[in-house]
Amino acid sequence: MQVGDINLPNEMWRAMKVASKVLVTLPMEVRVKRILDEYSYWVANPEELKVKLGYLKSTYGAKTIDEWSALIDADK
């Protein structure tokens, strides 16, 4: 099984599919703060983030990327 650049052995993938799951729940404000802290570089460099998002057009389509870019611009 291919996950991004990682090739998981089939046995590991099968074991993961049947393994018990853990759901972690946190308040939205805690989740947002963590994301902003962990990705502070992109918050400080929104134009670079938009360039990186451009590479995803073939996956998500130009309309979606344009919408995401507009959201980034709206937060300036």
Q: What is the pLDDT of residues 18-42, one digit of tens each?
A: 999 999 899 999 999 999 999 999 9
Give the Cβ contact number of residue 72 at 10 Å. 15
Mean pLDDT for the stretch of residues 52-60: 94
User: What is the rounded CA–CA span in Å between residue 2 and residue 63?
Assistant: 28
Q: Angle of helix 46-54 relative to helix 62-74, nearest 10 degrees?
A: 170
pTM: 0.60
